[in-house]
Structures are given as C-alpha cells and as structure tokens.
Structure 1
Amino acid sequence: MSGQDEAPEPRWLVAANVVRWRRWGDLGQELRPGTKAYKGGARVYVVDTYAGMGNEQLTTVGRGRHTGRWITIDTSTRHLHTFRAKLVHAPAVLRRCGGLPVGREAVERLVETLDRIAREQRGTYHAGPHPDPCLCHACLTGEGRD
C-alpha cells in the first residue's frame, strides 16, 4: 500500500458558512448571492489565515459554485459566518490543510477571533445605509443591533 492510499489523520479545523446575500457595489446598495466561488450557505473549511493583514482574508476549502468540486480559494472573512470548530475526516480537505493549529483549544480560540473580525468587517466595510429591503447577513440575523 503506498502513502497516497492511506487516509490522512482527522484534524480540527474551523468550519464556516458563506453568507446567503452580500452587499456589493457603491456604498453596498446592491445584493449578490454568496460569493463568486461559493453558493450562499455553502460550508467551507478555513485552512490558512493571514494574521499580518488582520485576518481580513482566509484561505478556504469548499465545494465550488459551478462545478461542485473541492476548491481552495482566498475569501474575505466578512463573507463567512457561523464559525465553529469541527473535526474533519474528508481526505480532500485534509490534503489541502495549511499550517493552522492542530488542537481543538487552539481552533476554538481562532473561531472566536474570526467571528469577531467578520462581524466588525460586515459592519464597517460598506459605510452607506442598507438598501430597502435588505437581505444581507447583518439585516437577516439582526447582527449589529446590540
């Protein structure tokens, strides 16, 4: 049996969902479903972060919008929500893993950080008022009305 035939060791990763609708355009007055690469609501796994950039971009692995195949792509943190720690067994995801922390506790700390950053970015990225009616994640969930 060769090394490629063996299943990789399960690993704790950050899982998240792509926002169903995102604000786009001048002052965020237009709405677009999901992202260019992922359908709205798609589950993705964070395999790398860019801490030097304040974690504004994340490298994610998920099923592509058009092909349904596993893709690896950089995604804005603001386009993700419901961050959670998840033990991943999927070989396609594990082969694409970067240098993220391995332990569950480290991943849970990263979950808290990424959730805070995503909320802040969604609240500040588009400075203009929301369109009426607005279907963006913040409006649908009541986020930011604290």
Structure 2
Amino acid sequence: MDESGALPEPVWLVAANVVAWRRCGAGGRELRPGTKSFKGGAKVYVARVYWGPGGDRVTVIGRARHTSRWIAIDTATRHLYGFRPKLVHTPRALERLTEAGHPHGFGAEFAATASAALEAYARQYRAEIAPFSPHPDRCLCHACLTGESAEAGQVA
C-alpha cells in the first residue's frame, strides 16, 4: 500500500520455482538443496533478465530461505524451473519490485515469450553442468527427478 492506502496495480512478471536439488562441486557430484537464498520449490518472480550473456542470470524476487522476508537478488537461471507468465497482485512483491527499480514488470505477451526462452536456457545450462560426469545412483538433482537428463542424452 502507498500513503493513500490504495493497493499497487498488478503487473505481469515471469514466475518460476527454485529447483529442489542442484548439482555443484567438482564434477557436479555434490548435491545441495535449493539455493543459498531460497528453499527448494520456492516460488520466485523474475524482475529482470540479463539477455546479453545469454540469459544465464536473472533478478528474482521471493521469500528468503531463513527469514521469510521478501528479497530481490540475482541468481543463475539454471537454479530455476517451471517458468510461466503470472499477473502478480502480492503487495510485498510489488513493493520489492519497485525498490529493485523495475516497477512496471513485463507486458503479458513479453512475459509469455520470456518464460519460454528462460525455460530453454535453464535446461541448457543445467545440462552443461559436468556433462561428462555420470550422475550417482538415485540422483536427486532436478534433471534426474524430471527426466531432463534422459532427454539431453546424458547418462542417468
């Protein structure tokens, strides 16, 4: 709410979820839950995309892992999945969006186009993490849980 008590206007953003487990470390053999800032499965809103280097980094807004406060941070696209356009009404998310310097969000059509492109980039970047390293038995990484590794022709 602003000083007059009116709710901010809803805006179109790209919503996504944080991967439950991500591969990291030497050869991608280590698994970590979620990210340092967000729990696995947390819903975040993409506020800005850095298209220059190929969409590998995005600014997201979501509830922090430990404090549940709304935060805005830059994160790797590969740590997110399920990109979709979403009309955001949440006042705290809209406040954080304004504080991050992007109060207008995306248009509905651009959000739909960007969500498809970001999903493709995220899959590509997840596949590039240790491409020649086999996944351990009963691997919990996002690619194995969703079947992306089989689609990409990786050893599962």
TM-based fold match above 0.5: yes
Task: For 2:6, give the aligned amino acid.
Answer: E
Where do 4+ consecutive residues of structure 1 move more than 6 Å? none
- SS of 1:39 mapped into structure 2: coil
2:140 is the alignment partner of 1:140: no
How many residue pairs end up in the alignment? 146
Q: Which runs of 5+ in 1 are unaligned?
A: none
What is aligned with 1:16? 16
Work out the CA distance in 2 between the residues paired with 1:118 and 1:99: 25
Task: For 1:81, give the aligned amino acid.
Answer: Y
Once the two structures are TM-superposed, the CA of residue 145 in structure 1 deviates from its matched residue by 2.2
- Deviation sequence 1:2-42 (CA, Å, 0-9, x none): 64633211011100000000001101101000000000000
CA RMSD of aligned residues (A): 1.8
Q: Which runs of 5+ in 2 are unaligned?
A: 152-156
* TM-score between both structures, scaled by the size of structure 2: 0.87
Work out the CA distance in 1 between the residues paired with 2:28 and 2:62: 26
2:106 is the alignment partner of 1:102: yes
Percent of aligned pairs sharing the same letter:
54
What does 1:1-146 correspond to in 2, within 5 Å?
A: 3=3, 5-97=5-97, 98=102, 102-127=106-131, 128-146=133-151
Once the two structures are TM-superposed, the CA of residue 105 in structure 1 deviates from its matched residue by 1.0
* TM-score between both structures, scaled by the size of structure 1: 0.92
Once the two structures are TM-superposed, the CA of residue 96 in structure 1 deviates from its matched residue by 2.9
- Deviation sequence 1:45-88 (CA, Å, 0-9, x none): 00011111211011000010000111111111000001111110
Once the two structures are TM-superposed, the CA of residue 135 in structure 1 deviates from its matched residue by 0.3
Once the two structures are TM-superposed, the CA of residue 131 in structure 1 deviates from its matched residue by 1.9
Is contact 2:7-2:91 (8 Å) kept? yes
Is contact 2:47-2:105 (8 Å) kept? no
